[in-house]
Structure 1
Amino acid sequence: MKARAGSTILATPTTPGAARADDSASDQRLGECVRLLRQRMEFSIQELGRRTGLSTGMISQLERGLATPSIRTLRLLSLALQVPISFFFEERPAERGPAPHYVVRRAQRRLLRLTPSGVLKESLAPDAPGRMEMYELTLSPGGSSGADFVKHQGEKAGYVLAGTLRLWLDHEAHLLEEGDTFRFPSTVPHMFDNPTASPTRIVWITVPTAP
């Protein structure tokens, strides 16, 4: 497991067994969230599979907390279930009281740990309704958005805070370093990874097309 301390990723003193338990609890929470959203939309597992392109077996495993999705899988689920990806994030305890309606305190960022993908995702946008999604992504060495390209309506942009990001756009790789930025239509097939031995931190912005 990893934990944020300032701007550095540090190993926590938890044992491997405790780390696995934390990951399992996170997977169970995420799976329950997907199941409740699917039922709210009155979709069968087969229908959700058709709308996302995911197998019914994968969706069943996710809902039972037996698998951890990639960022690509979460994006497909969020589009089909008509919620932002931040809907799947963990709540953080309010250490300084409720934040103002348009403000997110650092200690109150909602988290999403995708441990097998090597990704820690923190929501930077308030929960108030709005189209723009904004996150801070931390990619562990070798971390990635998934093995496949994804595309959808909308636009994406970002800023590399630290480390190296390899951004694949229409099957062409772009190596971005600290201080580099990007913006592209989400209809361009894309994926990303961290090909280095050091963590990478990125501010990532998504603006889905209005329905």
Structure 2
Amino acid sequence: MEIGKKIKNLRLKKGLTQEELGERTDLSKGYISQLERDLSSPSIETFFHLLEVLGCSPKEFFDEEKREQKVVYGEEDQTDYADEEKGYEIQWLVPESNEKEMEPVKLVFQRGGGFKRFEPSLAETFGYVLSGQVIVQLGKREYKAKAGEAIYFHSSEEHQIINDFDGTSEIILTVTESYL
């Protein structure tokens, strides 16, 4: 078993650098590096402390059965919300996606509807217009996208997506996690 590789994978899943993990466990960055390359073995006490900081139980760590990741999500996994006042419906396509690096959603805009205005962030946004036409307001500029067209932008300015169609517009949108 490659203990070091598993520790490194857990650390990366937590989004920690070796230095950050060292600070949280009172271990040096160099020692973490040695552990991850299987050049050193931790004491039982140190090992359990590492697992605690990394949010993994010893049973999970040593469980050799590979847990199959969920790849396909059906309608039963999706969550809906409608804001009749603003004229949109949002459907989260993957559960707990707001805790992941990407958040895919489907937006349906009623005539004159618009999604909420977002503050600048480090996120990136990708969208694909399924039907109708939308306007992407990015800072002081506006961009139109119609059915069959894709949009992509850095969210470094205030932004909003609104319906620009005399009827319903639908869009699939994926936003990356913002690190602000």
Q: Determine if the TM-score, normalized by the shorter chain, exceeds 0.5.
A: yes
CA distance in structure 1 between the partners assigned to 2:106 and 2:113 by the alignment: 14
Mapped pair 1:160 → 2:115: no
Contact 1:114–1:120 at 8 Å: present in 2 too?
yes
**1:210 Cα deviation after fit:** 4.3
- Structure 2 CA distance, aligned partners of 1:177 and 1:151? 24
8 Å CA contact 1:170–1:188 kept in 2: the answer is: yes
Runs of 4+ aligned residues of structure 1 deviating over 4 Å after TM superposition are none
CA contact (8 A) 1:133 1:207 kept: yes
Runs (5+) with no aligned partner, structure 2: 1-68
Alignment match, 2:102: 132
Count of residues in correspondence between the two structures: 111
Distance 1:117 1:210 in 2: 27
Higher relative contact order (CA 8 A, sep 6+): 2
Letter paired with 1:125: V
Q: TM-score, normalised by structure 2?
A: 0.56
Superposition deviation, residue 163 in structure 1:
0.4
Equivalent-residue separation in structure 2 for 1:198 and 1:192 (angstroms): 15
Aligned residues of 2:79 and 2:95 also touching (Cα < 8 A): no
Structure 2: how far apart are the matches of 1:162 and 1:107?
Answer: 24
Aligned to 2:112: 142
Does the aligned pair in 2 maintain the 1:121–1:138 contact within 8 Å? Answer: yes
Q: 1:171 to 1:149 in 2, by over 3 A?
A: farther
Within-5 A mapping of 1:51-200? 101-127=70-96, 129-146=99-116, 148=117, 150-200=119-169
Offset at residue 142 of structure 1 (A): 0.4
Q: What secondary structure, in the 3-state scheme, does the structure 1 residue paired with 2:85 have?
A: helix
- In our comparison, the structure showing a higher alpha carbon Rg is 2
Q: Which residue does the alignment assign to 1:202?
A: 171
Alignment deviations for residues 125-169 of structure 1 (CA, whole Å, 9 cap, x no partner): 2437521100000000000124x5632221111000000101111
